[in-house]
Structure formats: structure tokens, C-alpha cells
Amino acid sequence: MLKILKFCLKRIPVIFFNFLNNRVTLKTKNININMKKDYLELSDFDHKIYGSYDDLKTMNKQELEKHYFEFGIDEGRFYTGIQNSLDFVTSIKKGGKMLEIGPLDKPKLDYLSPEYYSLDVFNKEELIKNYIDNESVKKDKIIEPSYIIKNNDYSNIKEKFECIFSSHNIEHMPCVTTYLNNLEKVLQENGSIYLAIPDKRYCFDHFKKTTEIYDVLQLFNEKNNRPKFTDVLKMASQGTHNDSGRHWNNDHGIIDYCKLVIERYTPALTQFNTTNYVDAHVSCFTPKCFMEIIETLHELKITNLHIHKIYHTLKGCNEFYVILKKTRTENLN
């Protein structure tokens, strides 16, 4: 009996791990099966638009939906009226105070409106200095941010915003969760956060590891105020080309990790140790992983935000779009 008891005690961690693993797998499978109708609503699926392809014109609604989940998403087929960044910005409700994150020289919202505010971690003078060698940035068009944020401190923002717009910012954040929770604090109860996010599969982040919930939770507990050195080094040594069309055609380029690490380690380390803040892509998202991360953070009650809409990456593009809204007002963990 004692031998049997010892064997069972040894097996409990293994059995428990397998149980958790199976439960997660089953949950994922259930989401794939049972959430299809919800996902169609989340992505504003339009049968007419999707059925306009020559090879789909004879399909009924049920067949179109089946094809969409089995092939259309991965093929990047058009399925909604939101088909590019202009469509996404145009869909934003007009009226009320709006906050744009890091607009630099290309604000997407109406920056001449008295209801417009912007936010950055640098002032205009610092931004011009940071981009002095970047010819793609028009220095005379850089706007002065309404708020300068240091060390994730949003306490000086007294306004509440109906709309918060963030384009290609979230992947730079030292902590995704802290960033979203800070935005949520300055969001009106019925307001929306609009995110344009690069899809790592179709940009220069292609070879980098896709961010997982474990990464997000680790960063949340580390409470970093700037990208880590590993983020800076990966930015310098793991990037490939940024041609989304080539990526969609499975031409991802070739990079020599070892050679690049050897070449760029010392310059990257010097820059990291002598500069207060070195910009880098901290996270690398796909629509699927981002949706799973937000759902998990929501279930853990680490964020009050939930996905209201999500528009996956279309063929030839390198970004997807998400709209977040508040769910509840209870205290977070």
C-alpha cells in the first residue's frame, strides 16, 4: 500500500499538468468550433463582399463561412468593408475628445480639432533629434505632443477620451498590459481604443518569436519602463525586409543570426548603456495570438478591456486592426 501511495504522489504533478494541458487544448478547440459565429460578428464578416470572388460566387452563406474559416483567413481574402488603414480610421466615430499615441509627423486623426490631443515619450525637439537621420520622417511636420509620458505615469492626464488611437505603438511598449491599462484609465466608459498592429508574419519581425501570454505576464511582473537589452539586440540582429508583398509570397529573405549578433552586440550594448531609452519592438503579434492574449488577460482580471472588433491581416498588407472597449469597473489584480 505504501508503494502504491508513493507512486500516486509522484504521479500527481504529471497527471495535474496533463489535465491542465488537455483542458487548454479542449478550450482552444471549443473556441475554434463554438466561437465562429461570434468571430464573424467581431470581424464584421460580409457575405456579399466575401462571395464576390469568382471561385466563391456559387456558394451559399453557410458554405462561404466554412470556406472563410478553412481558407479565407490564411489566404488574406477580403471579407469586410475595413480593408486598409484609411478605412479603419474613417470608421472611427466622430465627436468627443480624442487622443492619438505617437503621431510623429503623420497624425491620422484631425489634429487641428480643438478636441484633439496627442501623447509621446519625447517632446518635439527630442523627436526631431531622434529622427534626424531618418529621411522618411518630415521634421517640419512633427507635431508637439499634448502630453509627455515618463515611466508609464499617466497621472498628469486629466481628460477622459471618447476615442484613443494607437498605430504601430503597442509592439514597442516595454509592457503591453501596463500600456493598455493606462489607456483604459483615460478612456470614457463607452469609449473605444483603436489599434493598428503590425503582423509579424508580414514585416521585418518575421523571424522573431511570436509573443505568447507567458511573455506578456512576465513583462507585467517585471514592471520595465524601457525595452530590455535583448529587445534592442534582437531589433538589430533579427530583422529582415519589410516588403509585405514578398512576405505573402513566402519570400522572407535570409539573415545570418550569428554574424549579425557578433557585428552588432557591442554597438547595441553601448547604445543601451549610454542612452536612457532605446526604441525596439518588444512584442511580435499576429491576430490570433493578440486575441488570445487579450482574452486571457481579461479572464485573469488583469485588464478591464475586451475585444470589440478585430480585422485580420489582408493579402498584401502587414497590419491588422483591433477595437477594444471596457467591460467592467471592478478593481484589477
Q: How confident is the model at residue 35 (pLDDT cuts 50, 70, 90)?
A: low
Residue 49 domain flag: no
Gap between the Cα atoms of 11 and 169, Å rounded: 46
Domain membership flag for residue 188: yes
Of residues 193 and 25, more confidence is placed in: 193
State the residue range of the domain holding 106: 100-326
Average pLDDT over residues 13-27: 33
Could you give the CA distance from residue 141 to residue 148 in angstroms, rounded to a whole number? 18
Contact 277, 270 (CB under 8 A): no
**pLDDT score, position 315:** 97
Residues 158 and 254 in one domain: yes
**How many domains are there within the chain?**
2
Q: What angle (nearest 5°) sits at the alpha carbon of residue 152, between those of residues 148 and 156?
A: 50
**Same domain flag for 9 and 124:** no
151 or 26, which is more confident?
151
pLDDT tens sequence across 321-333: 999 999 865 555 5
Both 154 and 30 in a single domain?
no
Task: Specify the CATH number for the domain of residue 179.
Answer: 3.40.50
Together in a domain, 190 and 298: yes
Residue 139, C-alpha cell as written in the block:
521634421
On whether residue 230 sits in a domain, the answer given is yes
Cell of 110: 484631425
Written as nine digits, the cell of 255 is 539573415
pLDDT at 20: 32
Position 220 in a domain:
yes
pLDDT for 152-175, tens place per residue? 889 999 999 999 999 999 999 999
Nearest to 289 by CA among 224, 201, 191: 201
Q: Which residues contact 64 (CB under 8 A, 6 or more apart)?
A: 47, 50, 51, 56
* One domain for residues 271 and 152: yes
Q: Would residue 66 count as lying in a domain? A: no
14 inside domain: yes
Is the separation of the CB atoms in 200 and 282 below 8 Å?
Answer: no
Same domain, 251 and 137: yes
